[in-house]
Amino acid sequence: MTTKPAPTRSYLLPLLFLIGIAVAGALGTAGAVQGYLSGLRLQAAILEEEEEQNTANRLRASLLEAESALRGLMIYNQPSYIERFHQAAQHIESAEVRRLIQRIDSDPSTMGAPPVAGLIDRAVASRRSAVALLLEGHRERVIEHGSAGHANRVMDSIRETLDRYIEARRDSIAANTAELRRQQTLVLALVAGSAGISALGVLLAVLTLRGRVRATTVAQSELASRSAEMSALLQMNELLQACETRGDIERVAGHAAQALVPGMPSTLYIFSNSRDRLDRALNWPGPGPDHIAPSACWALKRGRPNLCGQGVACDSSGCSGTALCVPMAARGEVYGLLRFNSEDIPALDALRENRGADAMADGMSMALANLQLRDKLRGEALRDALTGLHNRRFLEEVGPTILRQGDRRQASTCIAVLDADHFKRVNDTFGHATGDALLRAIAGSMTSLLRASDICIRYGGEEFVILLPDCDLGGAFERLDMLRESIATMHAEGGALPVITVSIGVALVPPGAASLDDAMHQADEALYAAKRGGRNQVLTAPMAERVKALAAPDHPGG
């Protein structure tokens, strides 16, 4: 049977020292708490005595105010002095003053003096009688009563007692304040002593447990590093879901790269629209060239991460140096390349092994794929598939914005409605394929002849809407009449498509209009007037009003 070895002396001494420190700290803490509680009691006593001193001062002031009001009434005989006297008397007879008077009469500092309660009652009653006599016109009797000096002796006795009480309170406050300071000094000393003892105990504990702490620190550091990496990736994926532009994706990924591999320079390259090169992200500055050829990087050729600088080197067209290149692919398409640049080969190899760079590339590529798909769907939702022009939904979304911009610039905005003449006849005679070709030709004329700032919209069927910002009614008429002539002559001589004409109605959007509805209605009325007037013409809303009385009664047939 083996016996447990006795603790060595080197182990017992630190243990005993720790116990001693704990006991000393406990005693110091208990003393500090006791001193703190005593200080609280002293503070409460000081506050109470200061309140009593202030109440006594206010009582003395009210007595003086009553005396002054009585003299003022006697000399000037003004009603305002009566109000001042009654206010002072009410304060003297208040419950707060009554409680103070009871404490004054029972205070040791006023022992031997006449009771203040009776003196004050007599003084107030005497002053009230004097006020009543003055109000009845017996000023001589008040003067005779005052000449006797009895009221003045009462007031002198009250003031003397109040002065003794106030001086006693002042002395007590000073004594308690001195005691409070002594208690605070003692508490501070105990706290400082306890802190010093605790510091010694902590130091001894640190020295005793240093080896175990070192091992624990290493394990925690590795765990924290892995946890920070996962947290950075999770945060990146969460933010990528809220990105609305490619710039947002670049900024989020750049922040995630710094959190994933702090201190290691990294660069993001994204395929250009032509997909003949990779461009460095502007919102993610990093080392490396501005462009990389896809054929110059083995990571893009192999479709998986590649540690450049080991084995076969990349071409010298930009993808060179020691770096970890990670392609970004999603849904069978490569969107870009992540490069982590460092001369530390083991660090790059560790980054490749823990697959943190792969997870980051996967998240970014999915975000880019989603953004591309969203832009494609949005473009399809706002574009007319046949003509390539904007559709009616686009007008509803951007119309209010264009109006607000025009109002800020104080610029005129016009809206026109264009309709192909006898288009139903074209479809019936030549077929819908020819009709579609004519619509595409009309759309091509609109985009080529009108300004780049003018917005051309296929509103439905053979009807088009044209929004002309920064354009008055006369300028709109000239442009649209040129468009009408161009459409009428574009296939007049041996063309593959039949000749077609258009009628156009145009109206000025009123300044400050919140929507295009009223102007659209006016333009539509002008269009029908153009149809009734013979077609193949442009009419403004004012012109349509003038010719309305001369229009043919029959409704146009398309």
- Comparing 426 with 261, the larger pLDDT belongs to 426
Angle at 423 between CA 418 and CA 426, to 5 degrees: 150
- pLDDT of res. 212: 64
The confidence band for 491, taking pLDDT boundaries of 50, 70 and 90, is low
- pLDDT of res. 443: 92
Angle at 210 between CA 205 and CA 211, to 5 degrees: 140
Q: Residue 114: phi, psi to the nearest 5?
A: -60, 145
- When pLDDT is averaged across residues 9-36 and rounded to a whole number, the result is 69
Q: Is 273 exposed, middle or buried (0-12, 13-18, 19+ CB in 10 A)?
A: exposed
Residue 507 β-bridge partners: 415
**Three-class SS state of 42:** helix
Rounded-to-5 percentages of helix, strand, coil across the chain: 65, 10, 25
pLDDT tens by residue, 387-434 = 889 888 888 888 888 888 888 888 899 999 999 999 999 998 889 899
Query: In the CATH scheme, what is the homologous superfamily, with its name and number, of domain 246-379?
Result: GAF domain (3.30.450.40)
What DSSP element (H or E) covers 43? helix 9-76
Q: Give the C-alpha separation, 548 to 542, whole Å.
A: 10
CATH topology of domain 390-550: Alpha-Beta Plaits (3.30.70)
- When pLDDT is averaged across residues 274-284 and rounded to a whole number, the result is 71
Q: Do 9-198 and 390-550 have matching folds?
A: no
What DSSP element (H or E) covers 330? strand 323-330
Q: Give the C-alpha separation, 370 to 366, whole Å.
A: 6
- When pLDDT is averaged across residues 534-543 and rounded to a whole number, the result is 90
Classify residue 383 by its DSSP letter: B
Q: Which of 494, 495, 517, 496 is nearest to 507 (CA)?
A: 517
Q: Give the C-alpha separation, 544 to 525, whole Å.
A: 7
Q: Is the pLDDT of residue 487 over 70?
A: yes
* The two structure tokens encoding residue 310: 């080991």
pLDDT tens by residue, 188-212 = 787 777 777 777 766 776 676 676 6
CA distances to 12, 62, 421, 508 from 463, in Å: 100, 94, 10, 19
CATH number of 9-198: 1.20.120
| Phi and psi based region of residue 275 (left: phi greater than 0; alpha: psi -120 to 50; beta: remaining) | left
- pLDDT of res. 456: 93
Q: Which of 338, 335, 336 is nearest to 373 (CA)?
A: 335
Q: Residues of the chain with pLDDT > 90: what percent?
A: 16
Tell me the pLDDT of the chain averaged across its residues: 77
Residue 268 β-bridge partners: 338
- pLDDT of res. 501: 93
Residue 339 β-bridge partners: 267, 325
Which amino acid, residue 310?
Q
Low-confidence winner among 151-155, 203-207, 412-416, 489-493 (lowest mean pLDDT): 489-493
- pLDDT of res. 1: 40
Q: Which of 227, 286, 278, 280 is nearest to 255 (CA)?
A: 286
Residue 468 β-bridge partners: 414
For the chain, the domains span: 9-198, 246-379, 390-550
* The two structure tokens encoding residue 360: 């980051």
Q: Which of 186, 221, 207, 197 is nearest to 31 (CA)?
A: 186
Q: Residue 413: phi, psi to the nearest 5?
A: -130, 135
